[in-house]
Amino acid sequence: LRAIKSVLVVAGSLKREERGRPEEQILMRALRDFNLPKIVTNDVPIFLGLISDLFPQLEVIKRLNILMFIFVCLQVTQLEELLAVRHSVFVVDNVCDIKTSFLKPVWTDINPKAVTTDELFGYLHPATREWKDGLFSSTMRELTSMGHDGPKWIVLDGDIDPMWIESLNTVMDDNKVLTLASNERISLSPSMRLLFEISHLRAATPATVSRAGILYVNPQDIGWSSCMQSWTWYCLKKPSSMWLHRSNTSQTYILSAR
């Protein structure tokens, strides 16, 4: 139901922006744009084929030949669209440097695996019964008390663990409230977002996954070969440029004058 609601929110936003556009086109675009970021590259043609079956009269993009710089711009756009409808987003990628390349605003970065659950969310001291604030709870309280209305992101950089992710369920759903063991409740402000930099979702339950948007960063679209393809494409677009050919016996690219 959360996924259906998010698609309808996107469709409603598109309808308000383009009132003259047919509803079939709006629904197709909402389904495509909302689900495409979470699908691996090999499954994109299958997904677009299903969209074509649902909307046979509409033209759907069949292939995504994305160069490096276009790929990063596309990921930024997809992240922006996800954050418009979800306040929590999983950024899934096995290579951490590409995520850092497009997650560069003012943020607060936390590694939840580096501390215990008590150190993350706080605890009552067993002897003094004094409340000891945690890293996440103190960060969230600090960002909530900030006066400016600019974006405030909490980035949890580390794979999901049921020991701590379950404590964030009420923050990730529509309640947007962190309930501590001291019965204190800290609410997310409208400008606050939660981002999870993870490499997989194996330890996440379906209930947790449904509470957040998913942005999948395909490792095949990054690396030196993508930069080489981007540079080659730029050179071939110029009539008097140099050209590259690949050696059949090795992975060497040879630069020759045209």
Q: Which domain holds residue 60?
A: 1-65
80 and 175, same domain (yes or no): yes
Give the separation between CA 168 and CA 139, rounded to whole angstroms: 14
Please answer whether residues 10 and 34 qualify as being in contact, where contact means their C-beta atoms are separated by less than 8 angstroms: yes
Give me the pLDDT at residue 216, please.
83
Query: How many domains are there within the chain?
Result: 3
Residues of the chain with pLDDT under 50: 60-68, 98, 105-106, 239-258
Q: Name the domain boundary from 65, 96, 120.
A: 65
Number of alpha helices (DSSP H) and beta strands (DSSP E) in the chain: 11, 11
80 and 56, same domain (yes or no): no
138 and 149, same domain (yes or no): yes
131 and 46, same domain (yes or no): no
Q: How far is CA 112 from CA 75, 97, 119, 140, 227, in A?
A: 25, 19, 9, 14, 33
127 and 187, same domain (yes or no): yes
**What's the predicted TM-score (pTM) here?**
0.60
242: Cβ contacts below 8 Å, ≥ 6 apart: 235, 255, 256, 257, 258
Q: Return the structure tokens found at 202.
A: 């194996």
Q: How far is CA 203 from CA 51, 75, 161, 187, in A?
A: 30, 24, 6, 26
Give me the pLDDT at residue 49, please.
80
134 and 154, same domain (yes or no): yes
Q: How far is CA 239 from CA 108, 242, 243, in A?
A: 47, 9, 10
Q: Name the domain boundary from 15, 36, 65.
A: 65
Give me the pLDDT at residue 71, please.
67
CATH code of the domain in which 164 resides: 3.40.50.300
Cβ atoms within 10 Å, residue 50: 13
205 and 110, same domain (yes or no): yes
Q: What is the maximal distance between C-alpha atoms in the chain?
A: 79
120 and 176, same domain (yes or no): yes
Give the closest residue to 28 by CA, choosing from 57, 5, 2, 1: 57
11 and 83, same domain (yes or no): no
Give me the pLDDT at residue 251, please.
43
Q: Name the domain boundary from 45, 65, 85.
A: 65
Give me the pLDDT at residue 61, please.
42
DSSP state string for 132-175: E--HHHHHHHHHHH----S-EEEEEES---HHHHGGGHHHHSTT
Residue 114 DSSP label: G
Give me the pLDDT at residue 32, please.
80
248 and 198, same domain (yes or no): no
136 and 239, same domain (yes or no): no
Give me the pLDDT at residue 26, please.
82
Give me the pLDDT at residue 18, please.
78
Give the separation between CA 131 and CA 181, rounded to whole angstroms: 9
111 and 156, same domain (yes or no): yes
